[in-house]
Amino acid sequence: MEDSCSKAIAPSPTIFSGDLYGSSSCSDDSLLGELPAPDLLVRTSGGLRIPVHSSVLALVSPVLENIIDQPRKHRSSERIIPILGVPSEAVAAFIGFLYSR
53-82 tens-digit pLDDT? 999 999 999 999 999 988 777 766 678 999
Q: Is residue 92 part of a domain?
A: yes
Is 19 inside any structural domain? no
Counted residue by residue, the chain has a size of 101
Query: Which of 35-39, 78-82, 83-87 is modeled with the greatest confidence?
Result: 83-87
Closest CA to 91 of 81, 101, 83: 83
Query: Is 85 among the domain residues?
Result: yes
The percentage of the chain sitting over the pLDDT mark of 90, rounded to a whole number, equals: 49
- Does 35 have pLDDT greater than 60? yes
State pTM to two decimals: 0.65
Residue 62: inside a domain: yes
User: With 50 as the cut, is the pLDDT of residue 20 above it?
Assistant: yes
Domain count, the chain: 1
Full domain range(s) for residue 92: 40-99
Angle, alpha carbons 28-31-36 (nearest 5°): 165
